């Protein structure tokens, strides 16, 4: 009799387990993962690492434990969403390909805002991918940490519109995208200055020609995308006008000696680049700026955006940075 009752109990336990375990898994999948957002100084994302199978939906229930945050996934079509304190925002993601994706905060929430990043590991059968081309700055072997500066600067803001009057005089070798991306504006200016056929032109004329070449290698659409990316991700440190953002000004402190500076808790060892400074910008090639964006500043506090921006977005942002040096407008 005891053996019979024991067998019945075991059978009931097995039946209950067979029913509840799948239900629990279904509940977990459909109810979603609760993802907490906190300022980086107090923990950042919890959990910061997520896993899902390719082709399967990932349900997230986003909530903030302190201030307003944002959520987005790099290199994806997922639009950013805001996360309000004490509220729950639901998002469902589906990834077609295995790989690692970075999610990040899109709202400037604290000095270490840019550290609010997490990883979604998408598992599944490996697929044959096209060979990944290294970034141009790697191909060109550019040392993006080396100082770049020039004393050759224009008296007036170079104007692409004025340069249109001289377009026919620009040698074809200087007008294609490969040259544009691999040379700095001052390198092009010097190359033009060395042309005997251009000897009669003023220095400002040549700078206007440089501005025209720069404009010819972008589009109004790309400049618009670059402006959106800059405003959302760069302006808080670099400023809407390209110099000292409101957030950067709030966090910057100087040492008593006056010759060193740092960011509170942000571990930034030098000021963000002033994009309005022609001595710096005119000595930088687009490929160098690409490297700065993709890899980050390594030790300066400049975050890396390689896993966040697509290649097209990175170049659009690079193109937009030149608007702080050149007048690229088509119309008066």
> Hey, which CATH number is domain 32-123, 3.40.50.300, 2.60.40.420, 1.10.940.10, 1.10.3720.10?
2.60.40.420
| Angle, alpha carbons 43-233-277 (nearest 5°) | 125
- Asked if residues 206 and 300 have their Cβ atoms less than 8 Å apart, the reply is no
| Angle, alpha carbons 140-137-326 (nearest 5°) | 110
Could you say which residues of the chain have pLDDT below 50? 15-16, 19-29, 249-266
CA 214 to chain centre: 22
Which pTM value belongs to this model? 0.79
- Asked if residues 188 and 210 have their Cβ atoms less than 8 Å apart, the reply is yes
Locate CATH 2.60.40.420 in the chain: 32-123
| pLDDT given at position 232 | 87
Domain 136-324 architecture: Orthogonal Bundle (1.10)
Locate CATH 1.10.760.10 in the chain: 136-324
Beta-bridge partners for 104: 72, 117
């Amino acid at each position: 009799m005891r053996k019979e009752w024991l067998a019945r109990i075991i059978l009931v336990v097995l039946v209950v387990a067979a029913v509840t375990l799948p239900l629990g898994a279904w509940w977990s999948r459909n109810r979603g993962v609760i993802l907490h957002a906190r300022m980086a100084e107090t923990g950042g994302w919890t959990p910061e690492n997520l896993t899902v199978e390719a082709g399967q939906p990932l349900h997230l229930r986003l909530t903030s434990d302190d201030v307003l945050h944002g959520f987005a996934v790099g290199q994806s079509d997922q639009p950013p969403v805001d996360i309000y304190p004490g509220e729950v925002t639901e998002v469902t993601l589906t990834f077609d390909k295995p790989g690692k994706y970075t999610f990040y905060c899109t709202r400037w929430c604290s000095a270490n805002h840019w550290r609010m990043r997490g990883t979604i590991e998408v598992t599944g059968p490996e697929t044959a991918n096209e060979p990944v081309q290294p970034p141009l700055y790697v191909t060109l072997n550019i040392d993006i940490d080396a100082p770049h500066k020039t004393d050759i600067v224009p008296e007036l803001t170079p104007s692409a519109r004025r340069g249109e009057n001289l377009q026919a005089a620009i040698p074809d070798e200087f007008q294609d995208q490969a040259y544009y991306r691999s040379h700095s504006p001052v390198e092009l200016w010097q190359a033009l200055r060395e042309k005997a056929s251009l000897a009669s032109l003023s220095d400002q004329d040549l700078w206007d020609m440089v501005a025209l070449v720069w404009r010819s290698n972008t589009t109004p659409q790309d400049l618009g995308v670059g402006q959106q990316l800059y405003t959302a991700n760069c302006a808080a440190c670099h400023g809407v006008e390209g110099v000292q953002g409101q957030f950067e000004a709030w966090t910057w402190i100087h040492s008593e000696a006056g010759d060193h500076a740092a960011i509170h808790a942000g571990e930034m060892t030098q000021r963000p680049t002033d994009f309005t400074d022609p001595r710096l910008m005119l000595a930088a090639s687009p490929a160098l700026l690409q490297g700065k964006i993709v890899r980050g500043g390594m030790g300066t506090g400049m975050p890396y955006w390689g896993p966040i921006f697509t290649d097209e977005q990175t170049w659009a942002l690079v193109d937009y940075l030149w608007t702080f040096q050149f007048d690229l407008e088509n119309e008066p």
